[in-house]
């Protein structure tokens, strides 16, 4: 039996929203936050269970 906490689900959904926004940033905004295109792609390719802060 798998038990998933509400807190974990909320963190996962927040992370999904954040990643969706990251995917839509222009090159100019990406540079403003100090990320390269390679770093963005690496973050977007991470499986959801390896997202920092989810505690799994």
Radius of gyration of the chain (CA): 13
Q: How far, in Å, CA of 12 to CA of 4, rounded?
A: 11
Please write the tens of the pLDDT for every residue from 3-44.
778 888 888 888 889 999 999 999 999 999 999 999 999 999
Q: Please determine, for residue 55, whether its predicted confidence score (pLDDT) is greater than 90.
A: no
Which residues have C-beta within 8 Å of that of residue 35, sequence separation ≥ 6? none
Q: What is the pLDDT of residue 26?
A: 96
Cα separation of 56 and 39, whole Å?
Answer: 22
Domain limits, the chain: 11-50
Alpha-helical regions (H) of 1-56: 6-24, 27-32, 37-45
């Amino acid at each position: 039996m798998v038990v998933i906490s509400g807190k974990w689900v909320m963190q996962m959904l927040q992370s999904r929203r954040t990643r969706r926004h990251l995917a839509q940033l222009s090159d100019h905004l990406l540079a403003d936050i100090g990320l390269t295109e390679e770093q963005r792609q690496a973050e977007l390719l991470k499986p959801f269970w390896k997202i920092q802060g989810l505690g799994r």
